[in-house]
Amino acid sequence: MSGGRLVFTGRRLGTLAETAIRAHLLCVTIRPETWLQPRPEGLYCAPGDFFIDPLRAVHRAVITHGHADHARPGHDKVLASAETIAIMKARMGEERAGASMQALAPGEILRIGEVDLRLVPAGHVLGSCQVGMGHRGSRGVGSRDYKRREDPTCPAVEPVPCHTFLTEATFGLPVFRHPVPDAEIRKLLDSVALFPERSHVIGVYGLGKCQRLIALLRRAGYDRPIHLHGALAAMCELYVAHGIDLGELRPATVARKDDLVGAIVLAPPSAIADRWSRRLADPVTGLASGWMRVRQRAKSRGVELPLVLSDHADWDELLATVEDVAAPEIWITHGNEEALIHALTEKGRKARALRLIGYGDDLDES
Ligand SMILES: [Zn+2]
Ligand SMILES: [Zn+2]
C-alpha cells in the first residue's frame, strides 16, 4: 500500500456472511451484461469503474494473480492481495508494478463506486484470488485461473455462490483429467531411485509450479537439497518470506558436477533442453505441466519424464466448480470453451464465451 492511503476510494465493510450472499441470489434485479463488460482492455466493471486483469495500462486495475498474462505493468491504481502485490513488485520492479497499490485481505469487503468487492482464494498460485462483486442485488464472480487440487503453497479455492460466474477453460475438454499430484511426485521419486547416477532436470514455471513441486516433494519425504537454476531463485525466496517452507535449496550453477549426480535440479522449461542442462550428469529431462497429458507435446520437447502437474482446473474440476457456485449464467473468459458451453447448456445453464484474447498464451504456465 502506498503511504497507507486507500488508492481505490471506498469503504471497508467487514466480512459478509455467506448466507447473506445466498439470500442475494434470490433477488436478481439487473442483467450482468449491464454492469460487467468485455472490452479490448479486458473485463470492465462499469459501476465500480475498474478492470480485472487488464491487458493494457488502465486507470484502475484489480489483479487476480501475479502471472504475466494477468498482472501487467503500468496501471495507475492496483488493487490485489498483499502476496500478488509483492510478486508484481518482484517481477516488474516497484516503478512498473503500479503507480499506487492497495492490498485487500481475503474476506474483507471494499465498496468501490456502486460495487461491493472482495477477493476470494483461487488455489492457483501464492496470492491468487477470484474477484467477487455485488451490484444492486446482482452477484458476479471473476475466477480467472484456479484449481481444486491440493497445493501446499496457497489456500484452497473457495467457490462462491453467484448469479454470473466467470471461468477460465484452459483444460476445457473431457480428455483433460489431471492425475492425483502425489502419483506424479511418486513417478519422479521412483525415477530418481532407479537412476542414482543421473541427475533429474525438471522444467517448471517460475511462479507457482516450481514452489508447488518442491513443497509436494518435501511432503513426500524428499529431504535432500533441491538445486535451482538461477532464474528460479528469487521467486522461491519470496515464497519462503511468505512462510512457505521449501527445505534446503541450492543454486545449480555453482554446484560441482559431482554434487549433481542423483540430484533433482529445477529449471525454467526453456532451459531443460539447451546448453545449460548439458553440464549436468547425464540428465533425465522432465517437465511439469498439465499439457504433459498430451504425449506429442512431451515428445516434441524431448521430455523423457512428463509430469502431469497443473495449476489449472481440469474438465471435472471446471464442472464441479460451476455446480458449487450454482450460477445460472457462466461466462468463459479464455481457453477451450466449446465443449464446456455444450456441457453446461445440457445442464440448463446459460453459457457464453467472452474470448478474451491475451490470456493463457504461455503454455508452460499451465
Ligand atoms: Zn495463472
Ligand atoms: Zn492465465
Q: How far is CA 319 from the centre of its chain?
A: 18
Beta strands in the chain (DSSP E): 11-14, 36-39, 42-45, 50-52, 60-62, 77-80, 100-103, 109-112, 115-121, 129-135, 138-142, 164-169, 200-203, 226-228, 249-251, 264-267, 284-288, 305-307, 329-335, 350-353
Beta strands in 151-221 (DSSP E): 164-169, 200-203
How many angstroms is it from 202 CA to the middle of ligand 1? 20
How many angstroms is it from 54 CA to the middle of ligand 2? 12
List pLDDT tens digits, range 241-289: 999 999 999 999 887 888 899 999 999 999 998 888 877 878 999 999 9
pLDDT of 77 higher than 80:
yes
If phi > 0 it is left, if psi is from -120 to 50 it is alpha, else beta; for residue 134 that is beta
How many angstroms is it from 282 CA to the middle of ligand 1? 33
List pLDDT tens digits, range 203-240: 999 999 999 999 999 999 999 999 999 999 999 999 99
Question: What's the mean pLDDT in 342-351?
Answer: 95
Question: What's the mean pLDDT in 33-48?
Answer: 96
* Confidence at residue 7, expressed as pLDDT on a 0 to 100 scale: 62
* Confidence at residue 273, expressed as pLDDT on a 0 to 100 scale: 83
Instruction: Single out the residue of 213, 204, 62 nearest to residue 149, CA to CA.
Output: 213
Question: What's the mean pLDDT in 44-69?
Answer: 97
pLDDT of 13 higher than 60:
no
* Confidence at residue 11, expressed as pLDDT on a 0 to 100 scale: 59
How many angstroms is it from 207 CA to the middle of ligand 1? 9
SS3 143: coil
* Confidence at residue 1, expressed as pLDDT on a 0 to 100 scale: 39
List pLDDT tens digits, range 149-184: 999 999 999 999 999 999 999 999 999 999 999 999
How many angstroms is it from 309 CA to the middle of ligand 1? 14
Domains along the sequence of the chain with CATH: 9-175+312-365 (3.60.15.10), 181-307 (3.40.50)
Instruction: Single out the residue of 129, 21, 2 nearest to residue 75, CA to CA.
Output: 2
Cα–Cα distance between 133 and 52 in angstroms, integer?
A: 11
pLDDT of 76 higher than 70:
yes
How many angstroms is it from 279 CA to the middle of ligand 1? 31
How many angstroms is it from 355 CA to the middle of ligand 1? 17
pLDDT band, very low/low/confident/very high, at 129 (cuts 50, 70, 90):
very high
Instruction: Single out the residue of 264, 292, 295 nearest to residue 277, CA to CA.
Output: 264
In this structure, of 2-6, 216-220, 354-358, the range with the lowest mean pLDDT score is: 2-6
How many angstroms is it from 64 CA to the middle of ligand 2? 10
How far is it between the farthest Cα atoms of the chain?
68
Which ligand minimizes its atom distance to the CA of 169? 2
311 neighbors 150 (Cβ within 8 angstroms): no
Show the cell assigned to 149. 487440487
Max mean pLDDT among 18-22, 110-114, 295-299 falls in 110-114
Question: What's the mean pLDDT in 308-323?
Answer: 97
Instruction: Single out the residue of 147, 122, 149 nearest to residue 64, CA to CA.
Output: 122
Q: How far is CA 56 from the centre of its chain?
A: 19
290 neighbors 178 (Cβ within 8 angstroms): yes
Average pLDDT, the chain: 91
How many angstroms is it from 145 CA to the middle of ligand 2? 5
Instruction: Single out the residue of 193, 227, 192, 198 nearest to residue 210, CA to CA.
Output: 227
26 versus 295: the higher-pLDDT residue is 295
Whether the predicted model's global pTM rises above the 0.95 cut? no
How many angstroms is it from 360 CA to the middle of ligand 2? 4
Which ligand minimizes its atom distance to the CA of 125? 1
In the block, residue with C-alpha cell 499506487:
100
pLDDT of 144 higher than 60:
yes
Show the cell assigned to 104. 485487500
